[in-house]
């Protein structure tokens, strides 16, 4: 599975020593930035350091590209609308084995590396788990020396920056490249043209063959920006290629000269809007249309780029295309690539339909990341017709032929046809991108065992019956290079000392820690590292929120997007219950706890924003109530993002993974936290189930309804009022939300949460799970008071995370789906 290797310090760092590095940084200060050591501020030092590192990165990139070209390698092309890369300096230095060299060199120049690292804006080109997974995967692909390219969108603005004003979320634009991004390289030589709108003309060729010609209404340019992706040890450097939209003719001089100053700019503005923002609000028609245009834009550019590269080696001979190219569709966002490839093959390359379809269905594979109906994309057929008229024709043709196949299997079964069809009939004809993805791919996978099972059983049962074996599972993973080695240097150093330093490439090696789990000295060292990390986070909390937290308290962390199914409000209700218990009994016995949240809510998701507001208002009341005697603190860290996660995860004691069973496809934060020695309190959902299998029931706090129990309760007619009237504590807490106790002068400001749970039916069964959750929290409290027991459990969690390296996920993709071979770069 994982490649065995030496410590990275023997690779790139051999070639570059401290003196070289200092010289390179100074050279970049002078020659790249036009400043000098005396004038340079932290930002300039950061840029010069990046430039010095980038020299090594580009050397690796050049060698990798040459090697792949000479070996004519098969490659995976990872199509994803999101890549949540975070910061790159620390990661690249670690992967090149240059971290220590750089740190010492900069120290000698009077510069603190950790300070200048703070200058780097996060590349937040994603919303959450799906985008971060893509980033972990491309790290693993490079590390495992697999030929791969990530393809996505070069958004000008990534995910919004979250500010909290008087307790409420305010969205501000994110400008990750305002002052230039030192890692990216523009490649104007590989610009692609993308067509949109217009109409289709039907023609008859000489041999009577019908030909379709699309006369587009608009053409825009796709400009590629390459971000090098450095594998651990720095041998293979792959590329993440992100497309930026520009107007085809940069400026219409004729119009301008004729006095139409504004008109001359209009086309530019329209074209540039395509890559302006990550997932614009899709509640309006224009927003939806823009999102579809974005998806098509990056898929079309990427396919043309792949074909250009293929033709360089194979000319017009398409027979080897499927040997060379595999495309992974990260969710349905890139599904429009399927009809686009068909269009290119049938209309442009003039292949006959069957041949083209044969190619298509050997090239694409699709990953499903959610069962939530609202996240399963459907586009109105008339919208596709307007933007991509030829593609709609192709989709109809794919569907027509597929329906014939369904009819063969289940003659006359119209119900089956209705379920399997790409087209959903109704008031408005819709195109189901999920069905299109399954039909156009040779493999489909879910992202955790339970999720893949539910994909087969509930989401696509008819496809499972039609093509048994096509739907498979690849459990998600995380890169241990970023999520342990780089973000938790003290724990990494301790692990290195105990079991050697090859675990970043072979995470199963962590198993070696198990035998030390009961060793008192090791327990002490392990918990000392945790303590120091908690001190660092406490400082950060003080700095950003002016809240004092006790580092001896339990740091209980819930970090993820805000969504009802993730149930941050279950956590909040429990906090309120604890508060109430303390008010009723000042001697209420509990170990002090700091509840720490990090979460962004979608701008248009009202209840999610109300939950953020409630956490802040309840927190504010509790934090300032002397009767609590600091037994509880509530901290909402604003602007949760990758770089903040890197600080919070190493400092966590408890990991909250409390989604309604069956709703969280996998989760990956659960893996990161457990890897860093946090204990999970969680439901049997997503990858929690596999984490529990690995760490054992004694080392995790599982509670709540299972998937089957959730279904059964729903079928029996779940009534949240039963819980409200039967459980006095639940009733008291919910009624509390209606008063102005937490929102002085604003009674009812928090009532929407109560309404969602009582009047609107509690879709995510918060009340049904409340008591079990509260009981599990009592067990957490007891366990933490036993220092030895807790330390042992924490060590075992770290030790048992081998399965969750993204290298294992990638190896599963390689074996089950991609059939790729590593290509060593010398
Ligand atoms: O919600 C899932 C999350 O559970 C999973 O870990 C992640 C990566 O597979 O994908 C998320 N899904 C989405 O973001 C949207 O489908």
**Domains within the chain, CATH numbers bracketed:** 1-71+88-121 (no CATH), 72-87+122-161+181-476+811-818 (3.40.50.2000), 498-804 (3.40.50.2000)
Q: Is the CB of 447 under 6 A from ligand 1?
A: yes
The answer to whether 531 is a known catalytic residue is: no
Per the structure block, which two tokens stand in for 139? 């790290």
Phi, psi of 417 (to 5 degrees): -60, -45
pLDDT tens column, 106-136 = 999 999 999 999 999 999 999 999 999 999 9
Residue 691 has pLDDT above 80, yes or no: yes
Give mean pLDDT, residues 739-758. Answer: 97
User: From residue 787, how far is each of 405, 524, 781 by CA, in Å?
Assistant: 63, 9, 11
Q: What percent of the chain has pLDDT over 70?
A: 95
CA dist 596 and 378 (Å) reads 36
ipTM for this prediction: 0.99
How many whole angstroms from 677 Cα to the centroid of ligand 1? 23
Residue 8 has pLDDT above 50, yes or no: no
CA dist 46 and 358 (Å) reads 50
Pair 75, 117: CB distance under 8 Å: no
Number of H helices, E strands in the chain: 34, 25
Pair 423, 399: CB distance under 8 Å: yes
Pair 744, 617: CB distance under 8 Å: no
Residue 13 has pLDDT above 60, yes or no: no
Per-residue pLDDT band for 617 (boundaries 50, 70, 90) equals very high
First to last CA, the chain: 21
CA dist 677 and 695 (Å) reads 11
Mean pLDDT of the chain: 95
The answer to whether 672 is a known catalytic residue is: yes
Residue 252 has pLDDT above 80, yes or no: no
How many whole angstroms from 384 Cα to the centroid of ligand 1? 26
Give mean pLDDT, residues 777-798. Answer: 98
CB atoms within 10 A of CB 703: 18
Ligand 1 atom 10, closest CA = 130
Ligand 1 nearest atom to the CA of residue 372, by list position: 16
The answer to whether 288 is a known catalytic residue is: no
Residue 447 has pLDDT above 60, yes or no: yes
Query: In the prediction, which pLDDT does 824 show?
Result: 96
Per-residue pLDDT band for 254 (boundaries 50, 70, 90) equals low
Query: In the prediction, which pLDDT does 281 show?
Result: 59
Q: 355-386 burial string, b = 16+ CB within 10 Å, else e?
A: ebbebbeebbbbbbbbbeeeebbbbbbebbbb
The tally of CA atoms less than 13 A away on the side-chain side of residue 707 is 17
Strand arrangement of the beta sheet that strand 593-598 belongs to = 632-636, 593-598, 554-559, 654-657, 679-682, 701-702
Q: Is the CB of 327 under 6 A from ligand 1?
A: no
Query: In the prediction, which pLDDT does 288 show?
Result: 86
Query: In the prediction, which pLDDT does 3 show?
Result: 43
Q: Is the CB of 451 under 6 A from ligand 1?
A: no
CB atoms within 10 A of CB 139: 27
What is the DSSP pairing of strand 443-446 with strand 364-367? parallel
Ligand 1 nearest atom to the CA of residue 370, by list position: 16
Q: Which residue has the tokens 């442009």?
A: 348
Ligand 1 nearest atom to the CA of residue 132, by list position: 8
CA dist 217 and 100 (Å) reads 55
Catalytic residue among 309, 561, 609, 754: 561
Bridge partners of residue 77, in order along the sequence: 149, 327
How many whole angstroms from 563 Cα to the centroid of ligand 1? 12
How would DSSP label each residue in 255-301? HHHTT-HHHHHHHHHHHHHTTTBSS---SSHHHHHHHHHHHHHHHHH
Query: In the prediction, which pLDDT does 373 show?
Result: 86
Identify the weakest region by mean pLDDT among 394-398, 601-605, 642-646, 751-755: 601-605
CA dist 513 and 795 (Å) reads 7
Pair 637, 591: CB distance under 8 Å: no
Residue 12 has pLDDT above 70, yes or no: no
pLDDT tens column, 176-227 = 998 889 999 999 999 999 999 999 999 987 777 888 999 999 999 999 999 9
Query: In the prediction, which pLDDT does 637 show?
Result: 98
Give mean pLDDT, residues 255-275. Answer: 71
The answer to whether 785 is a known catalytic residue is: no
Per-residue pLDDT band for 591 (boundaries 50, 70, 90) equals very high
pLDDT tens column, 628-677 = 999 999 999 999 999 999 999 999 999 999 999 999 999 999 999 999 99
Query: In the prediction, which pLDDT does 9 show?
Result: 41
Largest CA distance in the chain: 92
The answer to whether 560 is a known catalytic residue is: yes
Pair 514, 602: CB distance under 8 Å: no
CA dist 545 and 564 (Å) reads 25
How many whole angstroms from 562 Cα to the centroid of ligand 1? 13
Give mean pLDDT, residues 617-634. Answer: 98
Q: 75-107 burial string, b = 16+ CB within 10 Å, else e?
A: bbbbbbbbbbbbbbbbbbbbbbbbbebbbebbe
Residue 266 has pLDDT above 80, yes or no: no
Ligand 1 atom 14, closest CA = 130
pLDDT tens column, 395-428 = 999 999 999 999 999 999 999 999 999 999 999 9
CA dist 233 and 137 (Å) reads 16
CA dist 210 and 548 (Å) reads 74
Q: What is the dihedral of CA 370, 372, 374, 378, to 10 degrees?
A: 50
pLDDT tens column, 511-558 = 999 999 999 999 999 999 999 999 999 999 999 999 999 999 999 999
Per the structure block, which two tokens stand in for 21? 């590095």
Query: In the prediction, which pLDDT does 234 show?
Result: 84
Catalytic residue among 77, 94, 154, 566: 566
Q: Is the CB of 128 under 6 A from ligand 1?
A: yes
Per-residue pLDDT band for 251 (boundaries 50, 70, 90) equals low
Residue 710 has pLDDT above 70, yes or no: yes
Per-residue pLDDT band for 263 (boundaries 50, 70, 90) equals low
Pair 243, 275: CB distance under 8 Å: yes
Residue 77 has pLDDT above 70, yes or no: yes
The answer to whether 680 is a known catalytic residue is: no
Query: In the prediction, which pLDDT does 178 show?
Result: 87
Per-residue pLDDT band for 248 (boundaries 50, 70, 90) equals confident
Pair 361, 326: CB distance under 8 Å: no
Instruction: Give the Cα-Cα-Cα angle 477, 131, 762 (nearest 5 degrees).
Output: 90
Query: In the prediction, which pLDDT does 495 show?
Result: 98
User: Which of 588, 79, 562, 627 lies closest to 300 in space, CA to CA?
Assistant: 79
> At a CB cut-off of 8 Å and minimum separation 6, what does 76 contact?
141, 146, 147, 148, 149, 326, 327, 328, 813, 818, 820
Give mean pLDDT, residues 332-340. Answer: 98
Q: Is the CB of 331 under 6 A from ligand 1?
A: yes
CA dist 460 and 304 (Å) reads 31
Helix (H/G/I), strand (E/B), else coil: 515: helix
User: Which of 295, 276, 298, 282 lies closest to 157 in space, CA to CA?
Assistant: 276
Per-residue pLDDT band for 5 (boundaries 50, 70, 90) equals very low
Alpha carbon 298 to chain centroid distance? 18
Compare 9 and 238 and report the one with higher pLDDT: 238
Ligand 1 atom 8, closest CA = 130
Question: Best of 125, 370, 454 to mutate for ligand 1, by most ligand atoms within 8 A of CB?
Answer: 370
Query: In the prediction, which pLDDT does 590 show?
Result: 98
CB atoms within 10 A of CB 288: 17
């Amino acid at each position: 599975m994982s490649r065995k290797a030496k410590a990275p310090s023997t690779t790139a760092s051999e070639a570059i020593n401290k003196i070289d590095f200092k010289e390179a940084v100074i050279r970049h200060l002078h020659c790249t930035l036009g400043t000098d050591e005396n004038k340079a501020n932290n930002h300039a030092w950061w840029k010069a350091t990046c430039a010095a590192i980038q020299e090594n990165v580009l050397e690796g990139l050049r060698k990798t590209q040459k090697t792949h070209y000479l070996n004519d390698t098969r490659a995976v092309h990872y199509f994803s609308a999101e890549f949540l890369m975070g910061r790159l300096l620390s990661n690249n230095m670690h992967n090149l084995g240059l971290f220590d060299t750089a740190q010492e060199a900069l120290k000698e120049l009077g510069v603190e590396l950790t300070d200048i690292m703070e200058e780097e804006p996060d590349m937040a080109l994603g919303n959450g788990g799906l985008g971060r997974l893509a980033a972990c995967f491309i790290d693993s692909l490079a590390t495992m020396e697999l030929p791969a390219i990530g393809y996505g969108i070069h958004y000008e603005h990534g995910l919004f920056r979250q500010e909290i004003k008087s307790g409420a979320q305010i969205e501000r634009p994110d400008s990750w490249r305002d002052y230039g991004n030192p890692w990216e390289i523009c490649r104007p030589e590989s610009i692609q043209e993308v067509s949109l709108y217009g109409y289709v003309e039907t023609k008859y060729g000489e041999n009577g063959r019908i030909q379709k010609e699309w006369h587009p209404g608009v053409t825009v340019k796709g400009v590629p920006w390459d971000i090098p992706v450095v594998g651990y040890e720095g041998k293979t450097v792959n590329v993440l290629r992100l497309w930026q939209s520009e107007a085809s003719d940069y400026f219409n001089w004729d119009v301008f000269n004729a006095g139409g100053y504004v008109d001359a700019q209009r086309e530019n503005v329209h074209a540039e809007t395509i890559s302006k923002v990550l997932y614009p609000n899709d509640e309006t028609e224009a927003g939806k249309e823009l999102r579809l245009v974005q998806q098509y834009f990056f898929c079309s550019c990427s396919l043309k780029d792949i074909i250009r590269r293929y033709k360089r080696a194979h000319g017009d001979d398409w027979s080897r295309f499927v040997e060379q190219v595999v495309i992974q569709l990260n969710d349905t966002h890139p599904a429009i690539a399927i009809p686009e490839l068909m269009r290119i093959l049938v209309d442009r390359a003039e292949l006959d339909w069957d041949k083209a379809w044969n190619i298509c269905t050997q090239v694409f594979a699709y990953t499903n990341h959610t069962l939530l109906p609202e996240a399963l994309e459907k586009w109105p057929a008339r919208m596709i017709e307007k933007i991509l008229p030829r593609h709609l024709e192709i989709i109809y043709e794919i569907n027509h032929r597929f329906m014939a196949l369904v009819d063969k299997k289940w003659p006359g079964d119209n119900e089956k046809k209705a379920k399997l069809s790409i087209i959903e009939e109704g008031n408005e004809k819709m195109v189901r991108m999920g069905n299109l993805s399954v039909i156009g791919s040779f493999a489909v996978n879910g992202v955790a065992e339970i999720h893949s099972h539910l994909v087969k059983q509930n989401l696509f049962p008819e496809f499972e019956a039609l093509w048994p074996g096509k739907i498979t599972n690849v459990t998600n993973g995380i890169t241990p290079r970023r999520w342990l080695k780089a973000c938790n240097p003290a724990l990494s150093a301790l692990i290195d000392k105990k079991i050697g330093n090859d675990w970043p490439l072979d995470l199963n090696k962590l198993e070696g820690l198990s035998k030390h789990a009961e060793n008192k000295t090791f327990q002490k060292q392990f918990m000392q590292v945790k303590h120091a990390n908690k001190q660092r986070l406490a400082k950060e909390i003080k700095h950003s929120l002016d809240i004092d937290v006790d580092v001896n308290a339990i740091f209980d962390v819930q970090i993820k997007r805000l969504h009802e199914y993730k149930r941050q409000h279950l956590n909040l209700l429990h906090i309120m219950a604890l508060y109430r218990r303390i008010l009723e009994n000042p001697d209420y016995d509990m170990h002090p706890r700091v509840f720490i949240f990090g979460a962004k809510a979608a701008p248009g998701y009202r209840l999610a924003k109300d939950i953020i507001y409630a956490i802040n208002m309840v927190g504010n009341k509790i934090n300032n109530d002397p009767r609590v005697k600091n037994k509880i603190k509530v901290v909402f860290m604003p602007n949760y993002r990758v770089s903040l996660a890197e600080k919070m995860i190493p400092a966590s004691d408890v990991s909250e993974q409390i989604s309604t069973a069956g709703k969280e496809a996998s989760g990956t934060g659960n893996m990161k936290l457990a890897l860093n020695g946090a204990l999970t309190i969680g439901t049997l959902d997503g990858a929690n189930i596999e984490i529990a299998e690995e760490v054992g029931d004694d080392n995790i706090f599982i509670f709540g309804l299972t998937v089957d129990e959730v279904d059964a309760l729903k079928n029996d007619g779940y009534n949240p009022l039963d819980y409200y009237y039967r459980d006095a504590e639940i009733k008291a807490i919910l009624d509390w939300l209606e008063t102005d106790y937490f929102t002085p002068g604003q009674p009812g400001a928090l009532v929407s949460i109560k309404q969602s749970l009582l009047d609107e039916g509690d879709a995510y069964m918060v009340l049904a799970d409340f008591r079990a959750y509260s009981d599990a929290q009592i067990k957490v409290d007891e366990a933490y008071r036993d220092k030895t027991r807790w330390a042992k459990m924490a060590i075992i969690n770290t030790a048992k995370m081998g399965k969750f390296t993204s290298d294992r996920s990638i190896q599963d993709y390689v074996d089950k789906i991609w059939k790729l071979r590593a290509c060593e770069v010398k």
